[in-house]
Amino acid sequence: MSPNFPISSHESQPRRRAASKRSLATSLSILDAAERLFAERGYDGASVRDIAAAAGAQIASISFHHGGKEALFERVVERRALELSQLRLDALAARKALDAPLTLEALLSAFLRPYLEKAGAGDPQWLAYARLVAMVSADARWHAISERCFDPTAGTFITEIARLFPKADKTSIAVTFVFSVSAMLSLSTSKWRIEALSAAPDTEAATNDLADDLVRFCEAGMRATLHA
């Protein structure tokens, strides 16, 4: 006679069917379209109807896959934030694994470069996301999204910076970190202004040089503010 084990709750419920390839494709198309339209028109200017039309989907499919408009907006922001956070943490771990002291330049590079590489690779979706993050960062009503999607990783880097500047107060460190993030977002979304003002062509080498310049700029500003 077989043992009379209790049936767990998930075993007693019917299994849900795995999403079909078509369903997954529709969900992804909605996220991509929402990302582009939210970045272009802002949260208030992008309607659910327009997002559905851009995705080639029915309006009802948006609520089916992603809930209401605000839930869709949060998913759009969260989707790439997870990937970006992992890239930054991996870069930090790689730097710490080297047989050398962790420097401020190394910390800033680990945080800033993954974003710049994604936004500067020419993928229109990542370019849209760069504008979207700038919008979220500038609008206090999305504080909860920033707190959930970005603050844990930012806190990890701020803790490492504090170790390099033990006499600096937390507010000053936070200020310099936010300034650095703002500079990163500005570079990602306004590189065309640099090209226009300098009359320099956009090349891969020029993009790498701008990333180097940004790291040096942020490092100098942090050191000047934190007095070290």
* Cα separation, 6 vs 25, whole angstroms: 39
Is the pLDDT assigned to residue 11 strictly greater than 60? no
Residue ending a domain, choose from 40, 67, 94:
67
8 Å CB contact between 48 and 71: no
Range of the domain at 54: 19-67
| 193 shares a domain with 121 | yes
Q: Which of 62-71, 166-175, 185-194 has the lowest mean pLDDT?
A: 185-194
CATH number at residue 145: 1.10.357.10
CATH number at residue 24: 1.10.10.60
8 Å CB contact between 160 and 88: no
Pick from 129, 112, 115: nearest CA to 75? 129
Is the pLDDT assigned to residue 190 strictly greater than 50? yes
> Does any domain span residue 58?
yes
* Cα separation, 39 vs 60, whole angstroms: 22
Instruction: Select the more confidently predicted residue: 210 or 168.
Output: 168
* Cα separation, 73 vs 175, whole angstroms: 27
State the average pLDDT for the chain.
Answer: 87
